[in-house]
Amino acid sequence: MIVEITGLRKIYEGKQKVVAVDGIDLNVGAGELFGLLGPNGAGKTTTISICTTRALPSAGRVLIAGVDVVAHAAAARCHIGVVPQYNTLDRACTIFENIHFHCLYFGFSRADATARTQQLLAQFHLTERAGAYPQQLSGGLAQRVQIARAIAHRPKVLFLDEPSAGLDPQSRIAMWEAVRGLREEGITVVLTTHYMEEADELCDRVAIIDHGRILVQDTPAALKASVGAQKLYELDLHDREKTPLLLARLSGLNGVASAEQTPKGVRVLAHNVDGLLSEVVEAANPYGLRDLSITETSLETVFIRLTGRDLRE
């Protein structure tokens, strides 16, 4: 295992005590692309901060390539690359210098640092921008420079905290390609995200985290299969006083796996059955059906199932 997290807890002591991480156990194997998926405030950044020696745990232990991040922080840092949530490129240095100085900091000779920087610039399609300054780059390009810099010292594992926050859809896809490319180099990747599509598209395994705890962890396919239905119907109803009657009626329809009340109306999980849509509409119409959306079940559905909440709430 490259990342071994055991019984991790973090309590921020202050006027108001916050339990940010509440007993996390997690193992990530060599070469895996692992995602921590959860809403804002779930404890993802805190977990990454502890793994990367930027915060101390209140309890528990993290080993990176077998090295304890608290007892041997400097040694652990040699195995770790980090791309934090915010742009931390040095604004006074060019793109070349940002990567070059990182290599020198990690003990490369000048010649080796130059060769490694040139190789990374080529790998991340940045050679033409080598002389530019960070503030001259788009968010997507700056993110690519941050990834290039983070892996410059050839760490075993790269931690990416919300790598696509603030990126436009095109830059997000380019970033996904860059991250997938890391796998070919044998770099293990742990990323945090609150975008379920990102976790689904990119990750080999995902842990869904909420209130500092892991609710489930598995492959995206297995997590989606655990819902036991293929479609999610969200019904927006005007008359919500009598929804229990509607729930009973919907639950009895052929193909409906479950039906439950939501603040706006009713949520139905269902199998792909011909004619179900019109039956649902017919049942719901007397309750003032205002709107209806149908989506394929996704990691979002898994989260809703586990918490009753939306990832974005």
Ligand X SMILES: Nc1ncnc2c1ncn2[C@@H]1O[C@H](COP(=O)(O)OP(=O)(O)OP(=O)(O)O)[C@@H](O)[C@H]1O
- Sketch the per residue contact string, 136 through 175, with ligand X: x for CB under 6 A, - otherwise: --------------------------x-------------
- 99 vs 199 by CB, closer to ligand X: 199
Q: Does 43 bind ligand X (CB under 6 A)?
A: yes
CB under 6 A: which stretch of 35-43, 99-107, 148-156, 294-302 binds ligand X? 35-43
- Strands across the sheet with 59-64, in order? 18-28, 3-12, 59-64, 67-68
Interactions with ligand X, residue window 45-84 (CB under 6 A): 45-46
Q: Helix 276-284 to helix 243-251 angle, to the nearest 10 degrees?
A: 160
- Sketch the per residue contact string, 5 through 24, with ligand X: x for CB under 6 A, - otherwise: -------x-x---x-x----
Q: Does 298 bind ligand X (CB under 6 A)?
A: no
The Cα 237–Cα 1 span in angstroms is 50
Query: What minimum distance in Å lies between the beta carbon of 209 and ligand X?
Result: 7
The Cα 143–Cα 179 span in angstroms is 11
- 202 vs 289 by CB, closer to ligand X: 202
For every residue of 11-64, DSSP letters joined together read: EE-SSS-EEEEEEEEEEE-TT-EEEEE--TTSSHHHHHHHHTTSS--SEEEEEE
- 18 vs 245 by CB, closer to ligand X: 18
Q: Which two tokens mark 249? A: 């009626």
Query: What minimum distance in Å lies between the beta carbon of 313 and ligand X?
Result: 13
- 49 vs 301 by CB, closer to ligand X: 49
Nearest to residue 242, comparing CAs of 288, 282, 207?
Answer: 288
Query: What minimum distance in Å lies between the beta carbon of 190 and ligand X?
Result: 13
Cα 225 from chain centroid (whole Å): 19
Query: What minimum distance in Å lies between the beta carbon of 161 and ligand X?
Result: 7
Gap between the terminal Cα atoms of the chain: 34
Q: Catalog residues that contact ligand X under the rule CB under 6 A.
A: 12, 14, 18, 20, 38, 40-46, 162
